[in-house]
Structure formats: structure tokens, C-alpha cells
């Protein structure tokens, strides 16, 4: 049990098991559970999206309702649903507003990938609703933990609109940046919806190139900031990865930390995983061969135990380096190898990769879409897992694949660089294969190196499998670091009030 029991409110736009588009959901779900197991009072706030079925999760309606001030738009209402995160003591509140969150399609965009035109209002509303929720429930968190641009307005509101509020007025905040690319940058008129005063629309605070930038406001106003790997902390303070906000991040470098994500080993564990053909462990790998055959059948590949399979599970967007992969994939497929790809994202990629199984029958398998069961099958049945990311704040799949003895081939960037150690053939050490330049040649050469090891150095291959399967990235360790940051934020906030 912990010495100081903290009251922590985690506000995020997605959380497993309720709703997920990317790794943010895994993090919100697993971190809140880990903190709660440590003894903290952890509550999570999510939008009640159309995709969440209240009955499936036993949600109940709270008697309190919310009035959410939205500046020039006026005050909008919301009701609240509440439930316990399955298997935990974490209370989850859902902000219910049919107009903003009751739409089918994606969480942030239509099924065609067009971002919703009113994402500015949707997440401004959600952010402010989370603060109003604390007030109506008389819940005074020690720290409000906000995530990415969607909830970055919370520290702005707290410091300006609620600074004298008896409940939330002295609340510390931690902003976690999972991805610098998405900043919530909208037209300048959003300032009138935020209603915090135009004096805050300046180049250090909420303004960026004449627009209102919510992430920038969050960086300026949060008590502390962290991102999801040490490498990414350094990278985002450079123009290339800071994407216009490297300057404000450098200004706050004393308050900027890196905490690598963990893995939920209850979900991602080949010994217990119910979604794979056969369970296996580091001491008995027989099941992995059956998972490989099952994967080959599932994707219409030739059923051959002797050929290496390279798996990919990814959002098909530029961040993930899929354009570079597209350039070099023919060169890789010249060799005796199979590739399986599961993903969804940019339309060109759907056509490009979606057609590859026709060109490389039995060699290239592809499913364009989102499918959790297939994601598990790929982790278990592949020999290698490829992540050629352009940038990667942390990345989860390389850590998942290690647990399954599926060797990561990654670009040495961000969290990929921090979690994967390059194979050293002389010493038989390391946990994967790294490529350094973001070029088709570098990616192909590294992939061919892995294929060569598979065919010609069984000893090194076995060493890699053994080491990766024994490696752990626990949420318990990450949660302890978050606990330290919450405490630090709390004390820092008190000393400046």
C-alpha cells in the first residue's frame, strides 16, 4: 500500500476496455488500474461515445447533471454515467452529450477519415465538463492528469477561469504528451468559446501562427509535463519533432519528464492469451509453431513452418513510416519471406497494401480494418514484428511482440529506441534489430539482416527469443513514476499558490 493516498483524476479521450483507436486507450486503462491497485483513489473521465454500450459495462446514470459554460455558444448541458472499470476499483465517469458524442463513425473523424468539423467544440466541452464534474461531485483531486490536445484546455481553464474555486482552484495538473503531431490547432475564434480572455492569445500561451493551439496552452499552464519515453522528451525539444512547439517545450524543460509506457501482461501474454491458437511459454515454444500455422491459414498464406513471417499491426499513417515501407516492400518480398499486415488509416495505403495479396499470393496477407483478435494472432504467430516509424513517442506493439518471442525490427527513434536493444552478433545480446535512417535502403537492409539471422543463425535467433520473452515493461514500474510526478506537481502547486 502507498504512504500517501492520492486522489487522481485522469481525463482522456479514450480508454480500454471501453473505447480504443490507438495506444492512448491502452495507457489510460492500464495506468489507472495500476495506480488503483497501489491504493490511490483513481477516477477516469471519458466522453460517452456512441461506441460505448452502457449495458455491456453496467453503467448507471448519476443524479447530478452538468452545466458547461461554452463562452459565446452559451451554457450546454450534460448528464453523467458512472461505472467501475472491469476488474478494478477505478471509478469511470462518462460525459453524456448526444450532439457531441452520439455519432457513429470514428472517435475523431468520419468513417472516411475526415476529422469532425466541430472537434474544437467537442473537446473544449469535454474538458470543461470534466472540471464541472469535480465541482458537482465535490471531488477535489490532488492532481488532474490530462492527455494530449483533447484535454489540454483543462490546465488553462483551471489557472484562469477556476483559480479561486474552492474545489478545483488549487489543483495540480500533469499533461502527458502521447503525440506532438496532433495539437488541437483551430481558428482564432475558439478563444471566444474558451472564454479565458484574449490577453491569453499570444505566442507563448495559446496562439500559434494566428490560430488557437490547445496543446500549446496546456504546455504553458500545466504544473508538470511528461511524454512517454526519454528519447521523445529530447526529440520534441528539436524543431523536427517539436512541430512548432519545440520552443515552448524548451522553455519548460525543467518540468518535462519521460516515462516509458508499460504492458498489460494480463492481456498480452502467450501463456494465457485466449485469442491465440495455442498457448506457449519461453520454456515450451511448441505452441508458437501452431500459432504460426494458424496465422498463415487466417491470412491465406502458404502453410510453411520454415519461412519467416514479418507482422505489422498499425494505424496506416505517415507517422508509422508506411510510405517508406511501400517503397521497399517489393525488394523485401523478392526473398523467401511472408508478410502479414493489419491496419487502417490513409486511403492510398488501403489500396496499396490491400492489393498486395493479389500480387504476392500466399506470401503477403492483409486485413484492412481494426481487429483485436487478429492483432493477438499476429503477435503470436509472426517471427518478426516491423515498426519503421518516422517518429514514435513510445509504441506498444514492439513491447507486446517481445513478450510473444516475436522479434522487433524497429527504427531507432523515440520509445522504439529506448525499449529495443540492437542485436550484437558477437556477444549474442540484444532484443531486436534497429535501422537508423528513414530510407527505403536502411529499412530493407535491416529487414534482410533479420531474415538472414533467421535462416543462418539459429543460435542467435533462439537467444533473441529467450531474451525478449523474459523482458518485462511493467505498468507497476511506470505507475510508480507517475505517482512521483503527481506528488511533485502537488507540492509544486502548493508552493506557488
Q: Is 466 annotated to bind ligand? A: no
- Residue 466: helix, strand or coil by DSSP? helix
- Report whether 78 contacts 96 (CB < 8 A): yes
255 contributes a contact to ligand ADP by CB under 6 A: no
Q: Terminal CA-to-CA distance of the chain, rounded, Å? A: 30
Note whether 395 binds ligand ADP by CB under 6 A: yes
Choice between 80 and 443, CB closer to ligand ADP:
443
Cα three-residue angle 366-370-373, rounded to 5 degrees: 85
Residue 381 binds ligand GLC (CB under 6 A): no
- Pick the binder of ligand ADP from 397, 431, 447, 468 (CB under 6 A): 397
Pick from 23, 47, 258, 388 the residue near ligand ADP by CB under 6 A: 23
Q: Which of residues 267-286 bind ligand GLC (CB under 6 A)?
A: none
Q: By C-alpha distance, which of 62, 58, 51 is closest to 13?
A: 51
The window from 356-364, 390-398, 438-446, 484-492 that contacts ligand ADP (CB under 6 A) reads 390-398
Cell 518540468, located at residue: 255
- Cα–Cα–Cα angle for 35, 38, 40, rounded to 5 degrees: 65
Q: Minimum distance between the CB of residue 315 and ligand ADP, rounded to whole angstroms?
A: 5
Q: CA–CA separation, 394 vs 387, rounded Å?
A: 12
Our finding on whether 344 is near ligand ADP (CB under 6 A) is yes
Q: Which of ligand GLC, ligand ADP, none does 228 bind, CB closer than 5 to 8 A by kind?
A: ligand GLC
Give the binding-site size for ligand ADP (rule: CB under 6 A): 17
* 298 interacts with, out of ligand ADP, ligand GLC, none, CB within 5 to 8 A per kind: none
Q: How far is the CB of 466 from ligand ADP (least distance, A)?
A: 24
C-beta of 92: minimal distance to ligand ADP in Å?
Answer: 19
Task: Give the residue carrying C-alpha cell 531507432.
Answer: 412
Q: How far apart are CA 354 and CA 364, in angstroms?
A: 10
Concatenated DSSP letters for 277-345?
SS--BTTBTHHHHHHHHHHHHHTT----TTS-EEEEEEEESGGGTHHHHHHHHHHHHTSS-EEEEEEEE
Stretch of 68-76, 352-360, 386-394, 451-459 contacting ligand GLC, by CB under 6 A: 386-394
Q: Which is nearer to ligand ADP, 23 or 432 (CB)?
A: 23
CB 256 within 8 A of CB 230: no
- Among 227, 69, 67, 73, smallest CA distance to 147 is for 227
Q: How many residues bind ligand GLC (CB under 6 A)?
A: 14
C-alpha cell at 462: 533462439
- Sheet containing strand 309-316, edge to edge, reads 364-368, 338-345, 309-316, 384-387, 407-411, 433-435
Cα 171 from Cα 494, distance rounded (Å): 9
Least distance between ligand GLC and beta carbon 232 (Å):
8
Does residue 221 come out as left (phi exceeding 0), alpha (psi in the -120 to 50 range) or beta? alpha
Which x/- pattern, by CB under 6 A, does the window 368-387 give for ligand ADP?
--xxx--x------------
Residue 315 touches ligand ADP, criterion: CB under 6 A: yes
Query: CB 269 → ligand GLC: shortest distance, Å?
Result: 19
What is the grid cell recorded at 234? 529530447
CA atoms within 13 A on the CB side of 139: 23
Contact between residue 287 and residue 358 where contact means Cβ atoms under 8 Å apart: no
Return the range that interacts with ligand GLC (CB under 6 A); candidates 206-214, 388-396, 404-412, 419-427.
388-396
* Binding residue (CB under 6 A) for ligand GLC from 9, 10, 24, 410: 24
Contacts (CB under 6 A) with ligand GLC, residues 395-424: 395-396, 415
Q: How far apart are CA 227 and CA 207, in angstroms?
A: 22
Residues in 150-179 at the binding interface with ligand ADP, rule: CB under 6 A:
none
User: Which phi and psi (to 5°) does residue 248 adopt?
Assistant: -65, -30
Question: Which of 235/383 has CB closer to ligand GLC?
Answer: 235
Segment contacting ligand ADP (CB under 6 A): 128-136, 169-177, 312-320, 473-481?
A: 312-320
6 binds, among ligand GLC, ligand ADP, none (CB under 5 to 8 A by kind): none
Q: Where on the chain is the footprint of ligand ADP (CB under 6 A)? A: 22-23, 26, 313-315, 342-344, 370-372, 375, 394-397
Annotated binding-site positions for ADP-alpha-D-glucose: 20
Q: Where on the chain is the footprint of ligand GLC (CB under 6 A)? A: 22-24, 27, 178-179, 228, 261, 392-396, 415
Annotated binding-site positions: 20
Amino acid at each position: 500500500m502507498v504512504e500517501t493516498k492520492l486522489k487522481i483524476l485522469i481525463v482522456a479521450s479514450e480508454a480500454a476496455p471501453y473505447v480504443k483507436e490507438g495506444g492512448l486507450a491502452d495507457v489510460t486503462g492500464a495506468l489507472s488500474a495500476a495506480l488503483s491497485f497501489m491504493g490511490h483513489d483513481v477516477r477516469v473521465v471519458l466522453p460517452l461515445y456512441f461506441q460505448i454500450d452502457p449495458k455491456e459495462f453496467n453503467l448507471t446514470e448519476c443524479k447530478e447533471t452538468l452545466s458547461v459554460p461554452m463562452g459565446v455558444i452559451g451554457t450546454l448541458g450534460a448528464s453523467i454515467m458512472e461505472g467501475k472499470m472491469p476488474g478494478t476499483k477505478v471509478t469511470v465517469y462518462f460525459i453524456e452529450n448526444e450532439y457531441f458524442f452520439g455519432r457513429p463513425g470514428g472517435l475523431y473523424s468520419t468513417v472516411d477519415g475526415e476529422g469532425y468539423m466541430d472537434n474544437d467544440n467537442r473537446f473544449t466541452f469535454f474538458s470543461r465538463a470534466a472540471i464541472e464534474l469535480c465541482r458537482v461531485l465535490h471531488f477535489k483531486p490532488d492532481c488532474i492528469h490530462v492527455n494530449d490536445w483533447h484535454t489540454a484546455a483543462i490546465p488553462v481553464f483551471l489557472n484562469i477561469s477556476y483559480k479561486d474555486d474552492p474545489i478545483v482552484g488549487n489543483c495540480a495538473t500533469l499533461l502527458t504528451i502521447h503525440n506532438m503531431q496532433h495539437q488541437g490547432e483551430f481558428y482564432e475564434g475558439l478563444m471566444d468559446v474558451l472564454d479565458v480572455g484574449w490577453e491569453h492569445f499570444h505566442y507563448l500561451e495559446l496562439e500559434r501562427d494566428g490560430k488557437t493551439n490547445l496543446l500549446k496552452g496546456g504546455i504553458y499552464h500545466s504544473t508538470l509535463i511528461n511524454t512517454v519515453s526519454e528519447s521523445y522528451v529530447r526529440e520534441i525539444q528539436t524543431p523536427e519533432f517539436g512541430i512548432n512547439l519545440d520552443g515552448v517545450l524548451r522553455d519548460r524543460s525543467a518540468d518535462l519528464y519521460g516515462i516509458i509506457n508499460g504492458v498489460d501482461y494480463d492481456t498480452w501474454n502467450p501463456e494465457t492469451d485466449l485469442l491465440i491458437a495455442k498457448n506457449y511459454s519461453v520454456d515450451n515454444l511448441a505452441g508458437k509453431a501452431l500459432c504460426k500455422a494458424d496465422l498463415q491459414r487466417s491470412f491465406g498464406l502458404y502453410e510453411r513452418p520454415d519461412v519467416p513471417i514479418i507482422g505489422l499491426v498499425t494505424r496506416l499513417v505517415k507517422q508509422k513510416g508506411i510510405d517508406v515501407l511501400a517503397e521497399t516492400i517489393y525488394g523485401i518480398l523478392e526473398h523467401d519471406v511472408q508478410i502479414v499486415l493489419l491496419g487502417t488509416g490513409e486511403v492510398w495505403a488501403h489500396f496499396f497494401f490491400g492489393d498486395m495479396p493479389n500480387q504476392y499470393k500466399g506470401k503477403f496477407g492483409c486485413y484492412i480494418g481494426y481487429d483485436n483478435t487478429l492483432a493477438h494472432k499476429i503477435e503470436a504467430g509472426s517471427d518478426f514484428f516491423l515498426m519503421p516509424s518516422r517518429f514514435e513517442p513510445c509504441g506498444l506493439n514492439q513491447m507486446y511482440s517481445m513478450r510473444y518471442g516475436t522479434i522487433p525490427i524497429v527504427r531507432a527513434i523515440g520509445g522504439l529506441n529506448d525499449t529495443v536493444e540492437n542485436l550484437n552478433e558477437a556477444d549474442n545480446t540484444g532484443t531486436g534489430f534497429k535501422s537508423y535512417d528513414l530510407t527505403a535502403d536502411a529499412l530493407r537492409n535491416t529487414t534482410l539482416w533479420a531474415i538472414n539471422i533467421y535462416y543462418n543463425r539459429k543460435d542467435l535467433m533462439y537467444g533473441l527469443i529467450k531474451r525478449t520473452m523474459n523482458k518485462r515493461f511493467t505498468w507497476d514500474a511506470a505507475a510508480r513514476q507517475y505517482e512521483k510526478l503527481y506528488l511533485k506537481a502537488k507540492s509544486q502547486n502548493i508552493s506557488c499558490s
